[in-house]
A and B are shown apart, each in its own frame.
Chain A
Amino acid sequence: MYLNEYKHVHGLTSSNDHVMEKWLEREINLARNIQTKLLNGSIPSIRDAEIQGISIPARLIGGDYYDFYPLENDKVRIVIGDVMGKGIPAAMLMILTRGAFRSAAESTKGPAETLTAMNKALCQDLRLLKSFVTLFCADWNPITNVLTYASAGHNMPLLVKGKEKKVMELPKALGIMVGAFTDHVYEEKRVELEENDTVFFYTDGIVEAENKDREQFKRERLINTLLQHLDKNVDEIGKHVVEAIHTFTEGVPQKDDITMVILKVNKKSDMTKTNFSFISSKE
């Protein structure tokens, strides 16, 4: 899902600039359309788990990114990222990042290797543009129930333990942002998930969302929301998180892009059947 309710471009006011403003608005809407379509690609329907992704840019287009890539043996590769900055410049680099992920996901064996390859591909351009990207990449294996992951300067996702009804951060995987050193090698961690466990991947726009008193939403409110809705499916969890942020911010304009990917482990199905297909994303 890629949500946005803004419809106007602000700024230019003189009558001569009006035509330019119209062109600009049209081009930004076209750019937004490209980004929305690419981000809304397809959400994999995987065995014994559900996945959903939601992204709400602070401006017409944004620099947050998430993606899924199907792998052999029913595995799926998940990536979430945050490009430095906001708006059109960040959106352009987000498209670059997407290309690097799609290409690296095809040719690499695990999430750490994917991030290492993406960094190698993007580093020179990012340095030239004085920018960087934080990324978190994970492979979900529905057969072993193992989530393997690596981080390039991105915050650790939250793990909601369905049985114990508690939330914890995934054990830290260290790694610097993409765009600093070309030859940086990322480390990999793994965690075994159980039925009804949920992994909540997110960008900092969620915990840094501010209300009119300039208080931040913070991780504690996010954790409480996740605990409150841990029995729900991924679509409902996503909607409740967005709703909790909106309720908290009380209409204060969003400052940063907000993005989340939710992975929930379901009951084990009959292992003799393989059921891997793609379904259209839901708006």
Chain B
Amino acid sequence: MTLAVQREYSNGTVVLKIKGILDISTAHLFETYIQEIEDIEELIVDFSNLEFIDSTGIGAIMEVIYLSKEKQFLIKLRGINQQIYDILETVGLFKVLEAVQGEVV
């Protein structure tokens, strides 16, 4: 199974639409898009077409969250289905996001 990432850019906002599976076999692909982030105000990660995420995938999202503090941009996670939402809530990802984003000026 694969992951497809589509990137859109407009007025300081980057939208990353992720489709397929974000897991140990595909997380590196997502990370290449993250490493290219420079001088943006906002990052929107669109989960609408994401079917599955494992712990390595969650780790990749965590790294984006930490990066937002370092590079001072806002993050919005959008279109998360119930199953993936429950997983992210259980591990505490939304709490980490809230705390880190609170430090983004």
Chain A-chain B contacts (Cβ-Cβ < 8 Å), number: 48
Contact of A85 among B24, B96, B99 (CB under 8 A): B24
Contact of B62 among A82, A180, A256 (CB under 8 A): A180
* One of A128-136, A221-229, A238-246 at the interface: A128-136
Q: How many residues of B contact A (CB 8 A)?
A: 16
Map CB proximity to B onto A238-272 as digits: 1 under 8 Å, 0 otherwise: 00000000000000000010000000000000000
Question: Is the pair A134, B59 in contact by a Cβ cutoff of 8 Å?
Answer: no
Contact of B59 among A130, A155, A204 (CB under 8 A): A130
Contact of B91 among A85, A86, A176, A256 (CB under 8 A): A176
A76-90 interface (Cβ within 8 A of B):
82-86
Main secondary structure of the interface of B (DSSP, over half): helix
Cβ of B90 < 8 Å from any Cβ of A? yes
B positions within 8 Å CB-CB of A: 24, 54-56, 58-59, 62-63, 66, 87, 90-92, 95-96, 99
A positions within 8 Å CB-CB of B: 82-86, 127, 130-132, 134, 152-155, 174-177, 180-181, 204, 208, 256
Contact of A130 among B63, B91, B95, B96 (CB under 8 A): B63
CA distance A84 to B99 in the complex (A): 21
Q: A180 to chain B: which residues have CB within 8 Å?
A: 62, 92, 96
